[in-house]
A and B are shown apart, each in its own frame.
Chain A
Amino acid sequence: MPIRRSQRARGWASAATDRRVEQGLGALAVAVLVFIAAMLVTVFAKAWPSFSHNGLAWFGPGGDVDTQLRAMQEVKALPGHSLYYFHAWPLIWGTLLTTVSAVVIALVVSTLAAIFLTEFAPEPVRRTLDPVIRLLAGVPSVIYGLIGILVLVPYINEHVISEGRRESVHYVVQLNGADVMTATLILTIMILPIMVAISAAALAAVPASWREGSLALGVNRWRTIWRVSLHAARPAIVAATVLASARALGEAVMLAMVAGGRGFAPNLLDGVTALFEPVRPLAATIFQNSEGLEIAPLAHTIYAIAAVLLVSAAMLSLAGWTAKQRVRRYGIRV
Chain B
Amino acid sequence: MSAFGAAGLAPAAAPPPGTAIARAPRERTSAWPLLDRLAYGMCWAVGVGLCLIALGIVLYMLVKGVAYLRPSLLVEHPAPSAVQSQSGGFLDPIEGTLIVSAIGIALAAPSGIALGTWLAEYRRPAWLARSVESAVEIIAGAPSVVLALFGLLIFDQGYLGFLSQTSAGGGVYGRSFLAAGAIMAVLALPLVVGATREALTRLPNQLREASHALGRTRATTIRRVLLPAIRSDMATGVTLGLGRIIGDTAIITILLGVSLTTEPVGSTPLIGALRGTGSTLTSYVYANSPAGEGSAPQKAYAAAFLLLLIVLALNGLVTWLSNRGRGGGERGRAFALLRFQWLAARPWR
Contact of B150 among A39, A131, A189 (CB under 8 A): A39
List 27 interface pairs A-B (beta carbons < 8 Å), by A numbering: A21-B218, A26-B124, A28-B111, A33-B131, A39-B147, A116-B46, A116-B47, A117-B47, A120-B44, A131-B315, A134-B318, A136-B54, A136-B57, A138-B247, A140-B311, A142-B304, A146-B285, A196-B50, A222-B36, A250-B144, A286-B149, A310-B146, A314-B141, A317-B137, A317-B140, A317-B142, A318-B138
Bound Cα distance A224, B197 (Å): 34
Contact of B289 among A6, A146, A247, A306 (CB under 8 A): A146
| Chain B residues whose CB sits within 8 angstroms of the CB of A198 once the complex forms | none
Whether B135 contacts A139 by the Cβ 8 Å rule is no
What 1/0 flags go to A301-328 for Cβ under 8 Å of B? Answer: 0110010011001101110110000000
Q: Which of B6-14, B68-76, B249-257, B260-268 forms contacts with chain A?
A: B249-257
Smallest CB separation, A318 vs chain B (Å):
6
Residue of B at shortest CB range from A125?
Answer: B47
Tell yes or no: B136 within 8 A of A by CB.
yes
Q: Is the CB of A135 within 8 A of B54?
A: yes
Query: Which residues of chain A are near B53, meaning CB under 8 Å?
Result: 136, 189
Q: How many residues of A are counted as interface, with CB atoms below 8 angstroms from the partner's CB atoms?
A: 92
Bound-complex Cα distance A257 to B307 (A): 18
B interface residues, tally (CB under 8 Å)? 88
Q: Is B115 close to A, CB under 8 A?
A: yes
Flag if B291 contacts A145 (CB, 8 Å). Answer: yes
B279 within 8 A of A: no
A9-17, A162-170, A269-277 - the one binding chain B: A9-17
Q: Does B133 contact A (CB under 8 A)?
A: yes
Q: Is A32 an interface residue (CB 8 A)?
A: yes
Measured CB to CB, the closest approach of chain B to A308, in angstroms, equals 10
A252 interface residue, CB < 8 Å from B?
A: yes
Q: Which residues of A contact B (CB under 8 A)?
A: 4, 6-7, 10, 14-15, 17-18, 21-22, 24-26, 28-30, 32-33, 35-36, 39, 42-43, 46, 109, 112-113, 115-117, 119-121, 125, 128-129, 131-136, 138-143, 145-147, 149-151, 189, 192, 196, 220-223, 226, 243, 246-247, 249-253, 256-257, 261, 283, 286-287, 290-291, 293, 302-303, 306, 309-310, 313-314, 316-318, 320-321, 333
Given A117-B47, A147-B57, A256-B291: A14 and B217 interface contact (C-beta under 8 Å): yes
| Given A138-B243, A257-B291, A28 contacting B115 (CB threshold 8 A) | yes
Most B Cβ at <10 Å: residue of A21, A142, A257 = A142
- A286, B307: Cβ atoms closer than 8 Å: no
Chain A interface secondary structure, helix, strand, loop or mixed? helix
By beta carbon, the residue of chain A nearest B246 is A140
A10 and B348 alpha carbons, distance in the complex (Å) = 7
State A264–B282 Cα separation when bound (angstroms). 28
Shortest B107–chain A CB gap in Å is 12
- Name B36's contact: one of A113, A117, A223 (CB within 8 Å): A223
Bound Cα distance A43, B151 (Å): 10
Interface centre among B47, B58, B141, by most chain A C-beta atoms within 10 angstroms, is B141
Chain A residues with Cβ below 8 Å from B31 are 220
In the complex, chain B residues whose CB is within 8 Å of the CB of A46: 153
The interface residues of chain B, by DSSP majority, are classed as helix
B340 at the interface (CB under 8 A from A): no
Q: Output the least CB separation between A12 and chain B (Å).
A: 11
Known: A120-B40, A146-B289, A286-B149; 11 extra A-B contacts, CB below 8 A, are: A113-B46, A135-B54, A139-B311, A143-B61, A146-B304, A149-B289, A252-B250, A287-B145, A290-B145, A302-B149, A318-B134
Q: Is B81 an interface residue (CB 8 A)?
A: no
Bound-state CA distance A192–B253 (Å) is 26
Q: How far is the CA of A10 from the CA of B319 in the complex (A)?
A: 42
Closest to B349 in A: A10
B335 within 8 A of A: no
Q: Which residues of B contact A256 (CB under 8 A)?
A: 291
The residue from B128, B154, B301 contacting A26, defined by CB atoms under 8 A apart = B128
The answer to whether A18 touches B219 (Cβ under 8 A) is yes
Cβ-based interface call for B258 (8 A)? yes
How far apart are A251's CB and chain B's nearest CB, in angstroms? 8
Interface flag for B43 (CB, 8 Å) = yes
Asked if residues B143 and A25 are in contact (CB atoms below 8 Å), the reply is no
Taking CB atoms, residues of chain A closer than 8 Å to B150 are 39, 42-43, 306
Contact partners of B258 in chain A: CB under 8 A: 291
The residue on A at minimum CB distance from B148 is A290
Tell which of B124, B145, B222 touches A306, judged by Cβ atoms closer than 8 Å.
B145
